[in-house]
Structure 1
Amino acid sequence: MTREFEPFVLEGILFEGSYTKEQILATQNFQGKSTDLHLTTYPRTGTTWTQNILIGLVYGVETLIDHEKFELRELFPYMELNYRDGVIGYELANQITRSPRMMKNHLPVHLAPKEIFTLKRKNIIVVRNPKDTALSLKKFYQTNPNLMMHLKSDKLEDFLDRFLEGNVLCGSWWEWTKNWLKHCRENPSTNLVIHYEDLHSNFEGEIFKLADFLQIERPNSTTTCSLRELTSVNSMKARIEVHNDFKGKGLINKGEMHVWKNEFPAEFVEKFDKLTRETFADDRIFERFI
């Protein structure tokens, strides 16, 4: 039976789904190891894809091959999540014996694990076009048992209004992204920004960028091809969605770019682009999100 969690707002951020205030605060105060690697993403921006890429890159592609032994939550736990059996992600992180340990969160700058800032932990941030992010998040609300009850309307326009207002899981994409980009630019030695779209268009180049940031050997062409194949949508679905924690939750979507061009009402293209330009002002990065 799926446990129901009450939605709440913590320091201006809405949380709906398998979370409690205590879990968010415990994640914020998590005390890890100097070798830990954090993955920080806004929901539905290529998180699971990046997790699988990093597992193959850091632990070896053979880790992705054995489906029966592959447990995403044990290899790369979701820090603030309460899993179906009541175990919390940061508890799983403390049980990892591999090095480096890898862990993900979806938290904005002011709620993220403090050690990312105070102890300069290595941190990878993935960002994605807000229009595609919104469409993927709407589908996630429709398929995730802990979120669907909070979707009061199936109309796309209603959800896009919520997204524009930041009245969705993890708050405003614009504020989330702006603040993390600022932190990354101010701390480039320990923070790396990856664009979801670049993983599609220049997979090998982004893999090399990740390897250089992690100070590990760049994979050869054979390993890179294997990594691409083993982190395809179909491969990840076969490996991940067989486990109870992710079964029936729509964790892995189509993995496509620019879906919004066929689905977004024209008025919302204008509204999203206007807010993007206003948020990033003179920062040319806004062009990546239009």
Structure 2
Amino acid sequence: MEKSRKQFVDLVDKAVEAAKSMRRDELLFSYKGILYPTTVCSPETFKALESFEARSDDVILAGYPKSGTNWLSQILTDLIAISQKKTPGSESSVHAEVSEEFPYLEVGDAEKYERMTKLPSRRFMVTHLRPENLPKSIFKNNAKILLLIRNPKDVATSFYHFCNGLATLPSYETWDEFFTDFMTKKMAWGCYLEYLSEWNKYADKENIMTITYEEVKENRALSVKNIATFFGIPLTEEQLQLVVERSSFQSMKKNSDKTHGSFGNILFRKGGVSDWKNLFTEDQSEKMDKAFEEHIAGTKLGKKLKYDLYCKA
């Protein structure tokens, strides 16, 4: 198994094992007013992250949990492999050699950043953090960030199923109970609408490209092409098709045993759009509409989300 994938599986297995002996109220801890999972994050790691030195050619994917970061990670790691003249999916590709570290920036031990200084370029990293909690060097050195956003009703729906499938997060007896927590900022990695609002302040920066889950779903080939252009990675038609095929939901779900171990089933559930209609009551839908209107509707990111199209019944 490729090194980074083995690390992924090992880390998740350890975290799940540790979580089993913890009370529900111990599963999350607060750092600078935001909740994080105790078994995969720590205050020591966050402290060490502050002095992390980003490189201008780092490839960074930013997205709130359950907005499609695993999906886009597949696309980006394949593109990096191509930029290094390797074939995506082959043993010699990016995973085997470069991704020595678990790609989520804020997950793992405090010493990981020291080890990351030894990794060759281009380094790939993913984060669920808000921009103000990222290392200053990312913005100072103009590292390029792909910001992935998804309609908030589907994010909530997917997060609900995720919490109930993964022992490292508090589970919920009912959807209503989860919805209350989601709307009152009691989620791991904080409130999604606040996340959008904070990232919106950076939406015009030239080193940031925003893409929506829905647009990748609608036209994966065009999205891959645009992402490759943004990161300055030339692609042949054949390479483009390979990346597109390997990043289909069916293909990723089929390979999830190999790539994500037992965690794969939880991670790749439906991969659809508008699943929220199966859970939201009319009242909950209206509450979300109102909150969206207040926080984010008139902003650049708010408009990009096409809320009326994806979040109105």
Fold conserved between structures, TM > 0.5: yes
For residues 64-75 of structure 1, the aligned pairs below 5 Å read 64-66=89-91, 70=95, 74=100
Kindly provide the CA deviation profile for residues 96-151 of structure 1, in whole angstroms up to 9, marking residues without a partner as x: 33x2111111101221122122222111110001111111111111112211xx22
> What is the CA-CA distance between 1:184 and the residue it aligns to?
2.1
**2:280 paired residue number:** 264
Contact 2:28 2:188 in 1 (8 A): no
Q: Distance in 1 between matches of 2:283 and 2:149?
A: 24
Q: Distance in 2 between matches of 1:146 and 1:165?
A: 20
Aligned mate of 1:165, from 178, 184, 205:
184
SS in 2 for 1:19: coil
> What is the CA-CA distance between 1:20 and the residue it aligns to?
0.8
Q: Distance in 2 between matches of 1:107 and 1:261?
A: 28
Q: Distance in 2 between matches of 1:92 and 1:136?
A: 33
Alignment of 1:174 with 2:196, yes or no, is no
Q: Look up the equivalent residue of 1:270 and give its one-letter code.
A: E
Q: Look up the equivalent residue of 1:81 and give its one-letter code.
A: V
Aligned mate of 1:8, from 17, 23, 29:
29
In structure 2, do the counterparts of structure 1 residues 37 and 175 end up closer, same or farther at CA, with 3 Å as the change threshold? same
Unpaired stretches in structure 2, ≥5 consecutive residues: 1-13, 20-25
> What is the CA-CA distance between 1:233 and the residue it aligns to?
2.4
SS in 1 for 2:294: helix
> What is the CA-CA distance between 1:241 and the residue it aligns to?
3.5
SS in 1 for 2:285: helix
In structure 2, do the counterparts of structure 1 residues 87 and 106 end up closer, same or farther at CA, with 3 Å as the change threshold? same
Q: Distance in 2 between matches of 1:93 and 1:269?
A: 43
> What is the CA-CA distance between 1:26 and the residue it aligns to?
2.0
Q: Distance in 2 between matches of 1:171 and 1:21?
A: 16
Kindly provide the CA deviation profile for residues 10-52 of structure 1, in whole angstroms up to 9, marking residues without a partner as x: 1121112411111123223311323212111100101011111
In structure 2, do the counterparts of structure 1 residues 92 and 238 end up closer, same or farther at CA, with 3 Å as the change threshold? farther
SS in 2 for 1:58: helix
Q: Distance in 2 between matches of 1:13 and 1:225?
A: 40
> What is the CA-CA distance between 1:76 and the residue it aligns to?
6.5
In structure 2, do the counterparts of structure 1 residues 73 and 220 end up closer, same or farther at CA, with 3 Å as the change threshold? closer
> What is the CA-CA distance between 1:75 and the residue it aligns to?
7.3
Q: Distance in 2 between matches of 1:69 and 1:117?
A: 25
Q: Distance in 1 between matches of 2:110 and 2:52?
A: 16
Q: Distance in 1 between matches of 2:92 and 2:166?
A: 23
Contact 2:88 2:243 in 1 (8 A): no
Q: Distance in 2 between matches of 1:75 and 1:103?
A: 9
Number of residue-to-residue matches in the alignment: 279
Q: Look up the equivalent residue of 1:208 and give its one-letter code.
A: K
**1:279 paired residue number:** 295
RMSD: 2.7
> What is the CA-CA distance between 1:66 and the residue it aligns to?
4.8
**1:96 paired residue number:** 119
Q: Distance in 2 between matches of 1:135 and 1:223?
A: 34
Q: Percent identical across equivalent pairs? A: 27
> What is the CA-CA distance between 1:251 and the residue it aligns to?
2.6
SS in 2 for 1:183: coil
SS in 2 for 1:63: coil
